[in-house]
Amino acid sequence: MIDPFGRAVTYLRVSVTDRCDFRCVYCMAEDMTFLPKREVLSLEELDRLCTAFIEKGVRKLRLTGGEPLVRKNIMSLIRNLGRHLDSGALEELTITTNGSQLSRFANELYDCGVRRINVSIDTLDPQKFKTVTRWGDLAKVLDGVRAATAAGLKTKINMVALKDVNEHEIQPMLEWCHGEGHDLTLIETMPLGEIDGDRTDQYLPLSTVRSRLAERFTLTDIPYKTGGPARYVTIEETGGKLGFITPLTHNFCESCNRVRVTCTGQLYMCLGQDDMADLRAPLRASEGNEVLNDAIDEAIGRKPKGHDFVIDRDRNQPAVSRHMSVTGG
Ligand code: SAM
Ligand code: SF4
């Protein structure tokens, strides 16, 4: 799959549910309305869809959400998708999770062929964790991370940098992550979906974070790539890696290799644009994949050059109306 700008699409992120057992303040409103179950693709349909993309050249597949591990029987999907690792068609099968269910599933994930996972943790302060996630329990998440490491899963921590909330915890988080052998990726807040607060209050440019860290640590840019949009540095003092995902201060679109599918089968060619293609109707239209494949090809032909996120006070509304939990980040 080559888009109009010559970029090969080899990375698919699939949101397997819009539901979640947390309500992170930057991601969801507390009182969220979730999709009726009939609108959500069944596990069999998700398998068919992912397989169609793999047959078209996707080499890396990430399951996300909402919280992927709260979807009923999700492990059966992961186990089935593992066959594409065995055949060599797929290079990597991975998930992004809030970690709440990891203690239960870590061993099984490894057994299904998963080798790396991303776990989102915004603070190591239990009280603040509760404030940020509204419903989360830090102790449970940290147990999950330990279980993942014990199971052999390489675990990267994702932290959304939030002004005034956790901006002074970035250094302790970095030291903790690298001490435990986890890489850390910092993410800027993105204006996706209505939340209860004001996003301009949460926005902390990572350029500021980086210069602050540079006063304490030696940061060296490295060309390391995980297939995602993060740019990495090594930290000489800790020996670990630190990634920055900066959609607002830096345009990462020129090397974009990915597309996203929501749990209802909508294909988004860009996280920051509203254009999408419905794949559920073609998927349900027939048992063969001809209609589906045509719909995918047509959509890839419309992948835009880049996004145009802006956070500003005059336009205090999300640049994109859907929540991150719908497209999965
Ligand atoms: N529930 C899982 C988790 O939290 O890791 C997977 C889905 S979550 C939507 C994926 C990632 O997106 C998480 O790292 C989360 O912190 C991040 N995220 C959610 N809303 C965001 C926003 N508005 N701006 C930036 N990152 C966001
Ligand atoms: Fe749930 Fe992840 Fe969104 Fe937090 S960031 S509410 S854990 S989907």
Say if 289 falls within a structural domain.
yes
Pocket of ligand 1 from Cβ distances under 6 Å: 20, 26-27, 64-65, 67, 96-98, 120, 158, 160, 187, 189-190, 192, 324-325, 328-329
Say which ligand is closest to the CA of 18.
2
Say if 68 falls within a structural domain.
yes
Block residue for tokens 């052998």: 181
- Note the pLDDT of residue 252: 67
Which CATH number covers residue 46? 3.20.20.70
Q: 63 - beta bridge partners?
A: 14, 95
Alpha-helical regions (H) of the chain:
43-55, 74-81, 83-86, 102-111, 126-133, 138-151, 170-180, 199-202, 206-216, 280-285, 290-300, 324-327
Q: How far is the CA of 11 from the centre of ligand 2 (A)?
A: 21
Q: CA 83, 85, 88: angle at the middle one, nearest 5?
A: 110
- Note the pLDDT of residue 313: 46
Give the max Cα distance, the chain.
Answer: 59
Pairing mode of beta strands 231-235, 241-245: antiparallel
Say if 3 falls within a structural domain.
no
The Cα 308–Cα 247 span in angstroms is 9
Domain count, the chain: 1
Position in ligand 2 atom list of the atom nearest CA 160: 5
Q: How far is the CA of 85 from the centre of ligand 1 (A)?
A: 26
Residue numbers in the known binding site for GTP are: 13, 62, 96, 156, 258-260
Query: Is the minimum distance from the CB of 99 to ligand 2 under 6 angstroms?
Result: no
Say if 4 falls within a structural domain.
no
The Cα 267–Cα 275 span in angstroms is 9
Query: Is the minimum distance from the CB of 65 to ligand 2 under 6 angstroms?
Result: yes
CA nearest 249: which of 186, 315, 318? 186
Domain that holds residue 263: 11-327
Question: What are residue 75's phi and psi, to 5 degrees?
Answer: -65, -25
Ligand 1 mutation target, pool 23, 24, 97, most atoms within 8 A of CB: 24
pTM of this structure: 0.92
CB atoms within 10 A of CB 195: 22
Say if 6 falls within a structural domain.
no
Q: What is the CA radius of gyration of the chain?
A: 19
- Note the pLDDT of residue 8: 93
Over the chain (329 residues), the average pLDDT of each successive run of 10 is: 93 97 92 93 98 98 97 98 98 98 98 98 98 97 98 97 94 97 93 69 89 96 80 95 79 81 95 89 94 96 77 54 64
Say if 109 falls within a structural domain.
yes
Block residue for tokens 């490295």: 222
The Cα 46–Cα 239 span in angstroms is 39
Say if 1 falls within a structural domain.
no
Say if 90 falls within a structural domain.
yes
Query: DSSP secondary-structure letter at 159?
Result: E
Position in ligand 2 atom list of the atom nearest CA 323: 3
Say which ligand is closest to the CA of 157.
1
Position in ligand 2 atom list of the atom nearest CA 133: 4
Ligand 2 mutation target, pool 22, 101, 140, 262, most atoms within 8 A of CB: 22
SS3 295: helix
Which H or E run contains 60? strand 60-64
Query: Is the minimum distance from the CB of 70 to ligand 2 under 6 angstroms?
Result: no
Residues in the chain: 329
